[in-house]
Amino acid sequence: MPFDNARHLRANEGAVPDFGSFEAALAAFKSRHPYLLFDKRATNRIRKRANKNSKLLARLETSLREPGSPPDEPELRSNIKRQARRLIHTSYLALISEGLAKEQALNATRAALLALCSEKSWKIRPVIKSFLDCAEIAVAVSLSYDWLYDEFSGEERLIIEESLLRHVLEPAVAAYRDKFTLWPRRRDNCTLVSNSGILVASLAVLKRYPGHTAELIRKSLLSSWRIFEALAPDGAWPEGPSYWSLARRYAGLMIAALESSLGQSFGLASRPGFAQTGDFALHTVGPFGAAFNFADSEERLDVSALAWFAHRFQRTVDARLVQSYEGWYLPFMAIWAKRPRGYRKAAEPPTGKGLSQWQSRVFSKYLVERPGSAADLSCDQGRKRVQLWRDTVAASRRRDSAHTGGRRKLYHRRRKATVGDRPRPRRL
């Protein structure tokens, strides 16, 4: 459900994005594709890096073999996600491949784009008033259009541009201008995803529709500015781990697209708690890997969004959380690859099996390396940390044992009092 954060705002928290350089950034913008998430200079590095990643290539080829037409899925939301993610995968594969593989990926991308551009509406679920469904498709279409701009013909580009105008830009302008539309003023994941999709689509066709896009970028920044207030002061998200993952993924895409296109995020990346939001993922997952699934959340937490955070803010803990990720977000892992490498493989911590939740926090405090430290389990400092952790766990078990024994004695005393002084008959 949408929420409204009633927290008291400090004097400097109710400000607006830094629009002082907004007009100058738009005037200095040069439409040299690709420019969404990376520029042409980075393409060769991404191509080399991606072709060395066997897990990424296997996932891209699997997406390429999937049927282009969506199956009859009972869950419309799952169908939307599948379409958008497949389009991103085939576009990325066409970007990094050569020869036959490139041709196959381009054909699959063209077919998917043609099918989406011919749809009557990208709002698959009419009951959803925000741009939640539309934003997922808009981001996929915009990235494909930008990454493969030189591969498309003039007619194909025109079809995609008019489709973005019809499905995203014009409805978004009407929604932002309508004072009775509620979703732009809410502070939930739906609004953030909607703003992200609108902003990325606007950046993709910034030179084609300068009037609409300039207004939409400004409006989406204003709406997102209020949502980021919920992250202060420590990066926690009140909608639970699953919606945290969704919201952070699209927040990262929004800021990455702004910084790669216009050179700045107009203050969004500096909002209180935003850079530290990876701590929320760290502390909401227990020793067995299950998340604290409050607020309609799933048991498993998708931490893929932290790939951009580790790349942008150089936080070692974020890099550690995503280093073994193998999901659909792998293409972006290759794009945002400048993540810190502060963890040694030889010093992998135990799994935490059998530990309570607070014990695992103690464990992470003394065993997991933090940014700026030089922890090594083979040195004296590492042995001291291990011994301190062991002593803490041993003390915890003794206390738990004493507490459990006391509860047993109290239980038997109460049972005896209910029976009275007469001893209970013994069963033979």
The secondary structure of 123-176 as a DSSP string is ---TT--SSHHHHHHHHHHHHHHHHTGGGS-HHHHHHHHHHHIIIIIHHHHHHH
Residue closest to 248 by CA, chosen among 167, 334, 320, 329: 329
Q: Is the pLDDT at 257 greater than 90, yes or no?
A: yes
Lowest mean pLDDT among 165-169, 192-196, 217-221, 280-284: 280-284
Residue that has been written with the tokens 């080399």 in this structure: 48
Tens digit of each residue's pLDDT (9 = 90 or more) over 355-393: 444 444 544 544 444 444 333 434 455 455 545 655 665
d(CA 309, CA 321): 11
Percent above pLDDT 90 for the chain:
57
At 382 the pLDDT is 47
Q: What is the mean pLDDT of the chain?
A: 81
The pLDDT-based confidence of 397 (bands split at 50, 70, 90) is low
Q: Which whole number is the average pLDDT over 262-289? A: 91
The highest-confidence range among 173-177, 281-285, 287-291, 402-406, by mean pLDDT, is: 173-177
Q: Which whole number is the average pLDDT over 178-202? A: 94
At 287 the pLDDT is 80
Q: Which whole number is the average pLDDT over 103-111? A: 96
At 198 the pLDDT is 97
Tens digit of each residue's pLDDT (9 = 90 or more) over 16-33: 888 888 999 999 998 899
d(CA 238, CA 5): 9
Lowest mean pLDDT among 177-191, 215-229, 295-309, 388-402: 388-402
State phi, psi for 237 to the nearest 5 degrees. -125, 120
Decide: 177 and 192 in contact? Cβ < 8 Å: no
Q: Is the pLDDT at 9 greater than 50, yes or no?
A: no
Q: Which whole number is the average pLDDT over 133-155? A: 95
Q: Looking at the whole model, is its pTM more than 0.85?
A: no
CA distances from 81 to 61, 85, 148 (A): 18, 6, 21
Residue closest to 389 by CA, chosen among 361, 409, 411, 427: 361
